[in-house]
Amino acid sequence: MSKQARHSHHIWVQPHNPVRPDLRLTPVQPKEPTFYYFAYGSCMCPVDLKRSLGENTHQYVVGTATLTGYRLGFYCYCANRDCGALDVVKDPNKSVSGVLYRLPWRLSEHLDKREHVQQGGYRHEFVDINCQGKIYSKVRTYVVVNKLSEEIAPNDWYFNVVLRGAVTCGLPEEYCWNLFNHMYQLQQRVVKGVSV
C-alpha cells in the first residue's frame, strides 16, 4: 500500500464553530444591578436629574409611561426651592403621565437624597407602570410622607423644569397643557392673594 493510499482513509472532521483569528476572547462583564424608577415631577427632565445623580441620565430613559389610580398634586412644601413640589395621591379615576427610567442601583442613594427620604420628605412607593404597552411591576416612585391639606403653588423655576421635562420626554400634548394649566392656576391664586 502506498503512503498516498493510507492517507485517503482518514476523514477530516470540520468543527461546527471553526476558530476565527479575528475573534478574541473577552471576559464577560457582570451586568450592573438596576432598578426601575417612575418620575412625574422635576425628575422627568434628564438634565435636572443629572444635577443630582452626577451623570448623564438620558441613556437610562425607557420611555414615557403611565401610572393609573393616582393623580398629581402640589401637597409638598419644598424648603430648598421655597415653593410647592409635586406629589402623587391615590385616586381610582385618574392617571399620571411621566417617565420610566432604568437606573443603575449605585444611583439609588443619590435619588433618595434628592427626594429627602432620610429627612421624611418623600418615601418609596412601589407601583405598576404601563410603558409602551408593557406593564412593569414594583417600579419605585416617591410619595410625600406628610401631605399638606391644600396645594401650594410652584415657583417659576420648578414650573419651568417640570414642563420642560414633560415636553422634552414626549408626554401627550393634552397632558402637558393640563399640567401647565394646573400650575398656572395655583400661581394665580397666590398673585390674587388667595394664598393657600
Enzyme catalytic residues = 115
* Biggest alpha carbon–alpha carbon distance for the chain: 113
- 8 labelled as ligand-binding? no
Establish whether 39 is an annotated binding residue: yes
Q: Give the residue from 68, 86, 67 showing the smallest Cα distance to 76.
A: 86
- All cell numbers assigned to 19: 476558530
Report whether 37 belongs to an annotated binding site: yes
126 assigned binding-site residue: no
**C-beta of residue 52 within 8 angstroms of C-beta of residue 114:** yes
The span from the CA of 54 to the CA of 50, in Å, is 5
Q: Which of 147, 149, 129 is nearest to 196 (CA)?
A: 149
Among 150, 169, 162, 154, CA closest to 80: 154
Is residue 42 part of an annotated ligand binding site?
A: yes
Task: Tell me which DSSP letter residue 69 carries.
Answer: E
Long-range contacts of 174-181 (CB under 8 A, 24+ apart): 175/97, 179/72
Is 95 annotated to bind a ligand? Reply is: no
The answer to whether 61 and 43 have CB atoms below 8 angstroms apart is no
User: Is 70 labelled as part of a ligand binding site?
Assistant: no
Show binding-site residues for substrate. Answer: 37-42, 158
Show binding-site residues. Answer: 37-42, 158
